[in-house]
Amino acid sequence: MTPRIRISNTLVLIVDDDLVVQMQLRHAMEKEGYQVMVAGDGKAALDICMNSLPDIVLLDAVMPVMDGFVCCAQLHALDPNISILMITALDDQDSVDQAFEVGAVDYITKPIHWAVLKQRVRRLLQMHWIMKEFQYKVEQEQLVAKITQKIRTSLNLEQILSTTVIEVRKLLKTDRVIVYRFQPDGSGYVIVESVDPKWDSMLGRVYKDTYLSDKCSYKYWKRDVYVIEDINNAGLSPCHIDLLNELQAKANLVVPIELENNIWGLLVVYECSKPRKWAKSDIDLLTQLTYPLIMAIQQAELYQQLEAANQKLQQLANIDSLTQIPNRRAFDEVLEREWKRLEREKAPLSLILCDIDFFKNYNDTYGHQSGDECLKEVAKILHQVAQRPGDLAARYGGEEFALVLPNTNTTGAIYIAEIILAYIRTQNLIHESSQISSYLTLSLGIATIIPQGSCSPKWLIARADEALYRAKLTGRDRYAIHE
C-alpha cells in the first residue's frame, strides 16, 4: 500500500541561483500544496538546513559560492536520510555519477519537464515517509524495549519513570513530558518530568481542583486517550485552560495509567511553543508504553510491601517482645559493629551491664505479671537515658540489661551510670522484699576500652560483668568500674 503524502506538513527546499527557475519551481511545489523554502546557493542552503531540515531538497548543480555537488555531500553528512533531487543542465554521465556518489537520490536535467518533476518529487516523498515511518517504528520498539529492560534490571520506580519521560520527549521532539500521580483526595503531583530548559519546571508541583481531578475533566476516567491539538480551539473548561496556561502548554496528549481498575496517574506530553497535530503513531507509542509502566508500578509496589514486611520481621527479630527495646541479638550485632568502627577510629567504647537487685524476691512477692511490669519500667528508663545517636539500651537476659556507649570514655560512662541510679531512685518503685532498700534498685558494672585486634567484644562483656559482680558484692545499688 502506497503511503499517503502528508502535503501540508511537507517541507521542500529549492536551491538554485537562477531566479526565474527558482520562481517556477516554487510555484510548481506550492501548487502541489507543499511548504517551500528557497536558497540562492549551497552555503545558504546549508544554513537553512542547520535550523530546519526539509523533507526534500531540489538542488541545482552549478551555482556560485558553493556548487551543488559540494552542497549535496555536506547535506548528506548532516542527515544521511535526506532526500536530494539534483536539477541541472549537466547531462553527461560523469555528472550523473558524481551526483549519486555525493548522496543525491535522483537526477533531472534542464529544461525541466514539469509533469516528470512532480512525479519524481511525489515518488521521493513517498520513499521519504516510508523511511521516516520505519525509522520511527524502530525507535518506538527500541524505547519500549529499553523501558522493559529497565524494569527487569531495576526496582527503582522513579528511575524507570524518569527514563520513560526523557526518552519519550526525545522521540516525540516535544517540550515537556511528565508523569502525574494521583492522591486519594483527587489532587496529585508531578512525580517525574523531562522539560526543555527554556520552559519552567513543574516537578513536584501539587495540583488541586483542576482538570486533573474529576471536577473538571472526565475523558481519562473513561480510560480514553485525551488529545488536545490547540488549547484555544478545544472547547475546554476555564479550570482546564488555566492549568494548561500555567503549564505553558499549547497542545497536549494525556494517557491514563490504570492500575487495578483505578487511575494511578497520567503520562502527559506537552507542546509548549505552538499547537500541534498529534500523529496516530504518537498516541500509539504512549498507549503502548502504559503496559510496561503498569508492570513497573506493580513491581515497585510489591517490592515496597516486601521491604516493609522484611523490615517488620527484622524489627521483630531484634526487639524484645516484653520490654520493646532491642534484645540480645541486636545487642550483639551493635556491639560487634561499633567495636570494628571504633577500632578503625581508635576511639573509646564503654559498656554498662545493669542488674535489678533481688529481682527473684520481687517476683516471689508480687508475682510474675508485676515482675514483667517492673522489667518494662526499667527498660523505659534505660531507653530514655541512652539518647545519643549510636547509644543502645538492650535487654541482655532475664533481669539484666546492657548499654552500649560508643565514643564514650570511663568518665562519660560513669556520668550515664549516675543518671540511671538517680533516675531509678526518683521513681520510688516499691520493693519490700529487697534486702537493701524498700524501693527497687540497680547494680551496674562499667568497662571501657579502645578496641584493638588483640581483644574482642567478649573481653569487654567479661570485664563489665566482673565490675557488675563487684558492685553487687560491695552492697548493690551502685556502680563499679573495671580498672
Residues acting as catalytic residues = 399
Query: What does the block give as the cell for 162?
Result: 524518569
Residue 470, class by beta-carbon neighbours within 10 Å (0-12 exposed, 13-18 middle, 19+ buried)? Answer: middle
Determine the Cα–Cα distance for residues 183 and 149; give it in Å rounded to an integer: 28
CB-based burial of residue 242 (10 Å sphere; 0-12 exposed, 13-18 middle, 19+ buried)?
Answer: middle
b/e per residue 295-320 (b: at least 16 CB within 10 A): ebbebbeeeeeeeeeeeeeeeeebbb
Could you give the residue ranges of the DSSP H alpha helices within 52-180?
68-78, 93-101, 114-153, 157-172
Give the whole-angstrom CA distance, residue 312 versus residue 157: 22
**Structural contact between residues 174 and 253, judged by C-beta atoms closer than 8 angstroms:** no
Please list, in sequence order, all residues whose beta carbon lies within 8 angstroms of the beta carbon of residue 128, skipping any fewer than 6 positions away: 55, 56, 81, 83
CA distance 137 to 451: 64
In the chain, what's the furthest Cα-to-Cα distance? 124
Residue among 352, 382, 322, 356 nearest 439 (CA)? 356
What is the C-alpha separation between 401 and 379, in angstroms, rounded? 8
